[in-house]
Structure 1
Amino acid sequence: MKFSIERSALLKAVAQAQSVVERRNAIPILSNVLIAADGADVQFRATDLDIEVQDSAGAMVQQAGATTVNAAMLNEIVRKLPDGALVAISYDPAAERLTIAAGRSTFTLATLPQQDFPAMASADFEASFTAPAPLLRRLFDKSKFAISTEETRYYLNGVYFHIATTEEGPVLRAVATDGHRLARVDAALPDGAAGMPGVIVPRKTVGELRKLLEDDNALIAVSVSETKIRFATPTITLTSKVIDGTFPDYTRVIPTGNTRRLEVDAAEFAKAVDRVATVSSERSRAVKLVMEDDRLLLSVQSPDTGNAEEELAVAYADERLEIGFNAKYLQEIAAQVDRENAVFMLNGAGDPALMREGGDTSAVYVVMPMRV
């Protein structure tokens, strides 16, 4: 194998591939990236056995071939090469060494045979469709903050990606919850997605997927089966196993009878919560909200550190209400608001609160109260 490639193209492809590689691996081959040169392209593939990412880049291929090399080491070398450098890469099968040369720098790395590199079993996908990158980015970006990190409830360690039926018709929906807060985000159903099975996309996959969705003009090819999901652009393919479990019936925890309406500037609200939470104890981070006559008083009382309060002008015309929340949860939910104002629908001090953006119900958030 022998080819030459521009440093920036190489770095982008290697960085994309190596990001799925676990830092500590009991299986040495899983620390490597598979490099395969053929025609006018070089492919870089990496896997942790649950996720597989494949990236391709244009190159001047003098000799086709393939091998595997340590992904983190290759990424570090390429990252430190000068911008604009032309990188020459060659593989000597007899010595089992990969040589990387750029300018006056030369590196020789140990390799492992390509035959040992695991391939993710192919799946018969039950539904395939294309969706604009901004649509998928909104679904996953607005829901991922609520993914649970609790390993015992593994079925909550991802985003439930499925089709839901609303009064306006079927929608593509992403839901995440950790039992304390919930995010439910809807988008128009793309053509061809109607037969898609509901799957739980793991947290790590959601993080890797974000890199494919940067380009607002990109169309993403999505394929889904009961066990796997694949997202693909013309150059990058991300394939992942889905979480084998049943996502709970989230509709039961979304309140429908909350009648007390609080409307507040989302950015100002998040900043005020952050300020008063400065004196709260790290363990609870509880902030108390008192609403009455178009005023919202946020306060924190900590026996160890002190007290803080701040008043905001809001739209609130219902009965006086005192309710407490985890400050971190309030900030994260407020950060999802793209419009100027956030609307909270409340009931009582012990009932979950619902938040949305104005009259838009395509993104709904629920947060559980806490005693203060």
Structure 2
Amino acid sequence: MRFRIERDALADAVAWTARSLPHRPSVPVLAGLLVETGPDGLTLSGFDYETSTRATLPAEVIDDGRVLVSGRLLAEIVKSLPNKPVELTLDGTKVALTCGASRFSLQTLPVEEYPQLPTMPSSSGTVKSDEFAQAVAQAGAAAGRDEMLPLLTGIRLEMEGSTISLMATDRFRASLRDVAWAPEQTEVSAHALVPARVLTDTAKSLVSGSDVTIAIATGDAGDGLIGFEGTVGTGTRRTTTRLLEGDFPRVRQLFATQGETVAYVATQSLVEAVRRVSLVAERNTPVRLTFSDGSLLLEAGSGDEAQASESIEATIEGPDISIGFNPSYLLEGLSVMQEPVVHLAFTQHTKPAALAGVPEVGAVPDFAFRYLIMPVRLQS
């Protein structure tokens, strides 16, 4: 095997593929990056029995072949190379890498022991890459991070007709984001619970292309697998991952309640105020938000501890209300709002509050993205 390629293209593809490699592989070969050359150019692959990554990009192929090398080591080496063409050659049990005056010799891993990568399922449809990346980021804001509760670390995708709904919850907040897509079959109805970390990384990596192909396996041969594919530069990238199992909470019905009090606040002003006031909030203590008389008062801290307060302008419809939130949860929801104004809807100070972005004060939300957050009990 022998090929030549530009450093930047190789470094980007190697770094992306190597990110999915396990830090503590169950078997040594899973720490390897599979490097293959053929009619399609250069292909780089990684696999940990759960998630697979595959990047294909053009290269000057001199000899076809395949080799397995340490993925993280290769990524570090390629990243440090000068901006010159890279040539990689398989020589017996070692790989020779040359770039300008730099020379590296890498030990290979037994490529014959490397597991076969999953086959990409048949395409279910396509979605605009930038819209998909934004939708995943917004839905993922509410995904759990506790690996002891794996079911809640996923984002649920519900495909119904021409709409994909993305939902997540960690029991303390929930998110719901709708995005349009072009299904292969107009009457499609499917759902999948995808690990949030994998979905987020995949959506980000494919944002430079025009479309993302989504493929869900059906039938006994590939059930429980989902694939994503898109173009990056002159190459393609593909990810497959096993779906999470279990009965996901019924997130959608949580958003059905109508608010008794509605407030409009400038999104950036609210973000900045929460960040400042929460500096004095100790761990697991809330920030108090009081909506009254055309303003929002934010307060944190109590007793002999440090305290902070700040008042910002707000437009309020309905009864006054005072409610407490975990500042981190509030900020994570606000940070993925794209609109200049946030619409907040409340029922009671003990019930969840619903957030949505709007273009201006008084506008009715289109509810493409909704974020629900549970309140925290306030000290009297």
Q: Could you state the TM-score of these two structures normalised by the residue count of structure 2?
A: 0.91
Contact 1:357 1:363 in 2 (8 A): yes
Per the alignment, residue 233 of structure 1 pairs with 230
After TM superposition, the structure 1 = structure 2 runs for residues 174-253 of structure 1, keeping only pairs within 5 Å, are 174-192=166-184, 194-215=187-208, 217-225=209-217, 226-234=223-231, 235-253=236-254
Per the alignment, residue 154 of structure 2 pairs with 158
In 1, Cα distance between equivalents of 2:263 and 2:194: 33
Aligned pair in 2 of structure 1 residues 170, 191: CA closer, same or farther (>3 Å)? closer
Aligned pair in 2 of structure 1 residues 114, 339: CA closer, same or farther (>3 Å)? same
Aligned residue type for 1:92: D
Stretches of structure 1 lacking an aligned partner (at least 5 in a row): none
In 2, Cα distance between equivalents of 1:100 and 1:92: 10
Q: Which has the larger displacement, 317-326 or 349-358?
A: 317-326
SS at match of 1:360: coil
Question: Structure 1 residue aligned with 2:98, among 93, 96, 101?
Answer: 101
Contact 2:165 2:176 in 1 (8 A): yes
Deviation at 1:304, TM superposition (A): 5.5
In 2, Cα distance between equivalents of 1:301 and 1:209: 40
Per the alignment, residue 357 of structure 1 pairs with 357
Aligned residue type for 2:126: T
Percent pairwise identity: 25
After TM superposition, the structure 1 = structure 2 runs for residues 103-142 of structure 1, keeping only pairs within 5 Å, are 103-122=100-119, 125=122, 128-142=124-138
Per the alignment, residue 345 of structure 1 pairs with 345
Per the alignment, residue 335 of structure 2 pairs with 335
Deviations 1:117-137 (A, max 9, x none): 112343754x62121102211
In 2, Cα distance between equivalents of 1:268 and 1:119: 52
CA RMSD in angstroms, aligned pairs only: 1.7
Per the alignment, residue 286 of structure 1 pairs with 286
Stretches of structure 2 lacking an aligned partner (at least 5 in a row): 218-222, 359-364
Aligned residue type for 2:115: P
Aligned residue type for 2:153: N
Contact 1:163 1:170 in 2 (8 A): yes
SS at match of 1:142: helix
SS at match of 1:221: strand
In 1, Cα distance between equivalents of 2:66 and 2:237: 18
SS at match of 2:317: coil
Per the alignment, residue 361 of structure 2 pairs with none
In 1, Cα distance between equivalents of 2:117 and 2:107: 24
Deviation at 1:177, TM superposition (A): 0.6
Contact 1:129 1:221 in 2 (8 A): yes
In 1, Cα distance between equivalents of 2:72 and 2:119: 26
In 2, Cα distance between equivalents of 1:220 and 1:115: 32
SS at match of 2:15: helix
In 1, Cα distance between equivalents of 2:91 and 2:312: 69
Q: Which has the larger displacement, 54-63 or 112-121?
A: 112-121
Contact 1:289 1:323 in 2 (8 A): yes
How many residues end up aligned between the 2 structures? Answer: 362
Per the alignment, residue 301 of structure 2 pairs with 301
Per the alignment, residue 362 of structure 2 pairs with none
Per the alignment, residue 142 of structure 2 pairs with 146
SS at match of 1:29: helix
In 2, Cα distance between equivalents of 1:356 and 1:92: 59
Aligned pair in 2 of structure 1 residues 361, 25: CA closer, same or farther (>3 Å)? same
Q: Which has the larger displacement, 143-152 or 59-68?
A: 143-152
SS at match of 1:11: helix
Aligned pair in 2 of structure 1 residues 87, 269: CA closer, same or farther (>3 Å)? same
